[in-house]
Amino acid sequence: MIKTTVRVGGMSCAMCESRVNEAVRRAFPVKKVTSSRKKGATEIVSDAPLDADALRGAIAATGYAVGGISAEPYEKKGFPLFR
């Protein structure tokens, strides 16, 4: 899995975070998406890498400023129940 982090400017409330999250969910098959107005970022977990230009376009269409985009391998944290 891949964790993609997008710098997003202009989010000022929980509804802003929700709009960005929903735009990402509509545009891509993601496992998880979380936005934080305090961090100014959206984190996305997906099975495959996301197209940066399409991601930038989906978020920009909501009216928020899109900055840098980075991606890194993601491993779910926690302990397995059974080995």
pLDDT in tens, 16-55: 999 999 999 999 999 999 999 999 999 999 999 999 999 9
pLDDT band at 80 (very low <50, low <70, confident <90, very high): low
Residue 23: which of 40, 44, 3 has the closest Cα? Answer: 44
In the chain, the domains with their CATH numbers are 2-73 (3.30.70.100)
Q: Which residue is associated with the tokens 């709009």?
A: 19
pTM over 0.75: yes
The mean per-residue pLDDT over the stretch 49-69 comes to: 97
How is residue 46 written in tokens?
Answer: 């997906």
How is residue 14 written in tokens?
Answer: 């929980």
CA 23 to chain centre: 10
| Contact of 6 with 28, CB cutoff 8 Å | no
